[in-house]
Structures are given as structure tokens and as C-alpha cells.
């Protein structure tokens, strides 16, 4: 190849308006959905008759194996996340996308004139029934060898012409760069949300990664752990104990997240979470603080109900029991640890007090205990359980128990 030909080709690509938009603006969309919503109309404006488009990405996610984004003129872009179990299912394995991943080669199928029952890939029958005349799927290959799949369907009489096919092929390298960027963003956000929490993960991505990056805030502190965990661990196999922990944590994490709480960490059988209280004016601040306390109480009630409904794992005879403490106060939220090994968490007297109060649950026979500060703000659903000395706290502290049935 004449090097001058390659240089001319690269220059022409850089001067291509849509390629230039992909490279300059593709990564600045609000989301992957927003990107597709902007990309396809520009492609159609050039005269490429796209009536259906899909972008498919494999995910590193604890629940989902992949996501797909489908664009149509009627609905714009719709995103679906696919559970891991579906990746091995017949619907996916018999699809063109599965073949793209395994063979990394384009697939083109003309949909005009073929009998519906004779179409190779079952999903193409749906496209044909909706007026599709031509189908093209192609791999996008990233710099590290990762593969994503895209597909185009047209309803144009005669299908995609040679110019349209050449255009779609020409755009693929630039499109791959944009998709790789978004794929890495998805990966980073998912891993951080999975291991440090949604809000905390977002803060880390925004640059809070140095020791000393922290702030003071008011929050409801939630601390819970299992009753009799040491005995259970001694008497049962590790696999059985881990199964028990998984079920228990699922039952308590759900309500926290559903009511705008943030799970910060699991510590053996214990879980620490906060419900942040946004700063506000004096009157509004008090109302907001009460609202956050009520939300945390609602989450606590839901957690109690879900744990009570848990069936013991096979091999374990007793039901799951746990204790929970709720307190409201000031915490320090941010990076703590060694310079190059950090934990994004909360510390402070409020955290210590919540932990100490939770330690009274067993002795008092209570599932949910709260500090006086929390009980006064949450509701009238608490009764005083008495005053108790807490380790590290100078004066006895009044503790409140949640009334059963409230």
C-alpha cells in the first residue's frame, strides 16, 4: 500500500463530520442511552436508512451478564440489562449477537423474500414481520481485544445499498472507541457501587481518592449484626454460615437502599450504613432531619419483617435473629487509612455509640434499639428501656426499644 493512500484515508476520516462528532462528543453524552439517541439520527440524516439499531455490551456485574440498547424511531433508545442466567439460554445462544461474540465476524441477512420459518436466526423473523428488509450485525473490537456487538435493520426497499454498507463499515472504528470508553465507565461505576456503595463509589470516581479527603456531616447511623453468630460459626460448616450471611444481608441491605441509605461495609456478621442528612436552614433542617429518621425507621421495620420471613438454610435448625441500633449525630465521612490503602467509611462518636447500643439488643431481648436523639425525631413508636453505661461513654445513656407491632 502506498503510504500516501493511508495518509489521505486518515485525513478524510478526521474530516468526516460524523466521525469527528463521535471522537469529540461521543464520550460527553449524559449516558450511553443519550449517546445512541444522538448518534442514530445523525446517521439517518446522512441518508442511511436505519429503522432499528442495537448496541450490546457484556458486563462485569454481580447480577447482569450484559446490557442491550435498542433504538427505534418510535421509542428512541431503551436499555435492558440481562440477568446472568439468560446468557446461557436458547434465546441468546440462537441469536446473531452470540455468533458475533464467538466468531468476531460481520453477519448480513437479507430479509426480503425469505420464508419466515426458514430464517436462520429466530429473532430475524420478528424484524422481517415488522417490515425489515435487511439486517447487518458487526463486532466492535476494543484496544484490549474486548468485543461488543452492534446491529442495524432497515425497512428500505432493496435493503442496504453498497454506499450504506460502506458507510457503516467506515464508522465502526470510531464507534468502537466511543463504546470502549463507555464500557470502561460502566465497569468502574459497577465495581465501585458493588464494593463501596452507590454514593461512595460516585465520590471516588469524582476524585475523592486521597487520604484526608473527607467531610463532616449529620447522618442516621445504622449498625446491625446477627445474634449468636460465634456459636453458629463454631457449630456449622463455613459454606452453611456463608449462605446464612448472604440471605441475612440481602434482607437488611434492600430496605436501607430503598429508603436512600448507603451501606458502607460488612464486618463479619455486622453491617454499617448511614442515611445522610443534607444541610438546610434551621426550620427546614429540623424537618428534613425528622424525615430522614422516619425513613431509617421505615427501613428498620422492613428489615425486621424480611429477616423474620427468612427460612433457615438446609442444615440449620434455628431461625435467623439479629439486632439493630439507630442513632443520629455527626460523623466524619471519607478516606481513612494508609496513604496507599484506604477505606471510604464513617468514624466518630456517633458511630461508636450506635455500635455500643446495638450490643445491648441481646441482653434486653430487643431487635431494634435507638438513642434518645433518634427516638425523639423518628416517631412515638419507642419506649424507654432504661439508662445504661456504654463502654467509652462518660455518662449513662438512655436507650429506647421499638414497640412491637408499630
CATH number of the domain to which 10 belongs = 3.30.450.40
Say yes or no: 139 and 59 in one domain: yes
Given a contact cutoff of 8 angstroms between Cβ atoms, the answer to whether 329 and 372 are in contact is: no
Which of 196, 227, 256 finishes a domain? 196
Which of 165, 196, 227 finishes a domain? 196
- Could you tell me if residue 378 is inside a domain? yes
Given a contact cutoff of 8 angstroms between Cβ atoms, the answer to whether 364 and 401 are in contact is: yes
pLDDT score for 42: 97
Compute the radius of gyration of the chain from its Cα atoms. 28
Say yes or no: 343 and 386 in one domain: yes
Copy the grid coordinates of residue 32: 450511553
Over the stretch 328-381, which tens digit does the pLDDT of each residue have? 999 999 899 999 898 889 999 999 999 999 999 999 999 999 999 999 999 778
Which three-class secondary structure state does DSSP give residue 340? coil
- Could you tell me if residue 384 is inside a domain? yes
Q: Which of 153, 368, 157, 376 is nearest to 255 (CA)?
A: 368
pLDDT score for 207: 87
Say yes or no: 243 and 121 in one domain: no
- Could you tell me if residue 179 is inside a domain? yes
Say yes or no: 241 and 390 in one domain: yes
- Could you tell me if residue 120 is inside a domain? yes
Q: Which of 38, 50, 85 is nearest to 66 (CA)?
A: 85
pLDDT score for 88: 67
Copy the grid coordinates of residue 143: 484496544
Say yes or no: 159 and 233 in one domain: no
Say yes or no: 213 and 85 in one domain: no
Where the chain has pLDDT below 50, the residues are: 1-9
pLDDT score for 2: 45
Which of 137, 172, 196 finishes a domain? 196
Copy the grid coordinates of residue 158: 432493496
Say yes or no: 171 and 52 in one domain: yes
Q: Which domain holds residue 188?
A: 3-196
φ and ψ at residue 222, rounded to 5 degrees: -115, 125
- Could you tell me if residue 250 is inside a domain? yes
Say yes or no: 266 and 337 in one domain: yes
- Could you tell me if residue 201 is inside a domain? no
- Could you tell me if residue 204 is inside a domain? no
Which residue do the cell numbers 495518509 mark? Answer: 7
Interatomic CA distance for residues 28 and 207, integer angstroms? 18
Say yes or no: 291 and 164 in one domain: no
Say yes or no: 187 and 324 in one domain: no
Given a contact cutoff of 8 angstroms between Cβ atoms, the answer to whether 106 and 117 are in contact is: no
| CATH code of the domain containing 327 | 3.30.70.1230
Say yes or no: 59 and 155 in one domain: yes
Q: Taking CA 332 as the corner, what is the angle to CA 330 and CA 333, rounded to the nearest 5 degrees?
A: 120
Interatomic CA distance for residues 173 and 26, integer angstroms? 13
Copy the grid coordinates of residue 389: 453505661
DSSP annotation string for 276-287: EE----HHHHHH
C-alpha separations of 134 from 107, 108, 218 in Å = 11, 8, 59
Given a contact cutoff of 8 angstroms between Cβ atoms, the answer to whether 198 and 258 are in contact is: no
Q: Judging by DSSP bridges, how do beta strands 368-371 and 322-338 pair with one another?
A: parallel
Total domains in the fold of the chain: 2
Given a contact cutoff of 8 angstroms between Cβ atoms, the answer to whether 400 and 371 are in contact is: yes
Q: Which of 307, 320, 327, 323 is nearest to 362 (CA)?
A: 323
pLDDT score for 206: 86
Interatomic CA distance for residues 179 and 57, integer angstroms? 9
Over the stretch 128-160, which tens digit does the pLDDT of each residue have? 999 999 999 999 999 999 999 999 999 999 999
Say yes or no: 240 and 143 in one domain: no
Number of helical (H) and strand (E) elements in the chain, helices listed first: 15, 14
Given a contact cutoff of 8 angstroms between Cβ atoms, the answer to whether 94 and 120 are in contact is: no
- Could you tell me if residue 225 is inside a domain? yes
Amino acid at each position: 500500500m502506498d503510504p500516501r493512500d493511508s495518509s489521505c484515508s486518515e485525513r478524510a476520516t478526521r474530516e468526516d463530520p460524523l466521525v469527528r462528532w463521535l471522537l469529540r462528543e461521543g464520550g460527553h453524552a449524559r449516558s450511553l442511552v443519550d449517546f445512541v439517541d444522538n448518534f442514530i439520527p445523525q446517521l439517518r440524516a446522512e441518508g442511511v436508512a436505519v429503522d432499528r439499531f442495537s448496541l450490546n455490551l457484556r458486563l462485569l456485574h454481580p447480577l447482569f451478564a450484559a446490557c442491550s440498547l435498542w433504538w427505534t424511531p418510535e421509542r428512541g433508545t431503551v436499555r435492558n440489562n440481562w440477568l446472568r442466567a439468560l446468557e446461557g439460554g436458547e434465546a441468546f445462544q440462537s441469536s446473531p449477537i452470540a455468533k458475533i461474540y464467538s466468531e468476531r465476524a460481520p453477519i448480513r441477512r437479507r430479509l426480503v423474500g425469505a420464508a419466515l420459518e426458514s430464517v436462520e436466526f429466530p429473532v430475524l423473523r420478528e424484524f422481517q414481520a415488522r417490515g425489515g428488509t435487511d439486517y447487518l450485525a458487526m463486532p466492535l473490537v476494543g484496544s484490549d481485544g474486548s468485543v461488543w456487538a452492534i446491529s442495524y435493520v432497515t425497512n428500505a426497499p432493496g435493503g442496504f445499498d453498497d454506499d450504506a454498507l460502506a458507510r457503516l463499515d467506515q464508522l465502526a472504528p470510531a464507534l468502537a472507541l466511543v463504546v470502549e470508553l463507555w464500557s470502561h465507565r460502566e465497569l468502574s461505576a459497577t465495581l465501585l457501587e458493588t464494593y463501596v456503595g452507590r454514593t461512595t463509589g460516585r465520590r471516588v470516581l469524582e476524585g475523592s481518592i486521597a487520604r484526608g479527603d473527607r467531610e463532616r456531616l449529620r447522618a442516621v447511623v445504622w449498625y446491625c449484626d446477627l445474634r449468636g453468630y460465634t456459636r453458629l460459626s463454631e457449630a456449622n460448616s463455613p459454606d452453611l454460615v456463608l449462605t446464612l450471611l448472604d440471605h441475612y444481608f440481602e434482607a437488611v441491605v434492600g430496605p436501607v437502599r430503598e429508603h436512600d441509605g448507603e451501606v458502607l461495609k460488612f464486618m463479619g456478621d455486622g453491617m454499617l450504613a448511614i442515611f445522610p442528612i443534607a444541610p438546610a436552614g434551621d426550620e427546614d433542617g429540623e424537618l428534613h432531619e425528622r424525615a430522614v429518621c422516619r425513613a431509617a425507621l421505615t427501613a428498620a421495620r422492613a428489615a425486621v419483617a424480611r429477616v423474620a420471613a427468612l427460612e433457615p438454610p438446609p442444615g440449620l435448625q434455628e431461625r435467623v435473629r439479629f439486632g439493630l441500633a439507630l442513632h443520629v449525630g455527626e460523623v466524619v465521612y471519607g478516606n481513612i487509612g494508609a496513604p496507599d490503602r484506604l477505606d471510604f467509611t464513617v468514624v466518630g462518636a456517633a458511630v461508636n455509640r450506635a455500635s455500643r447500643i446495638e450490643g445491648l439488643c441481646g441482653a434486653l431481648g430487643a431487635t431494634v434499639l435507638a438513642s434518645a436523639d433518634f427516638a425523639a425525631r423518628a416517631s412515638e413508636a419507642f419506649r424507654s428501656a432504661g439508662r445504661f453505661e456504654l463502654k467509652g461513654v462518660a455518662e449513662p445513656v438512655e436507650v429506647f426499644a421499638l414497640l412491637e407491632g408499630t
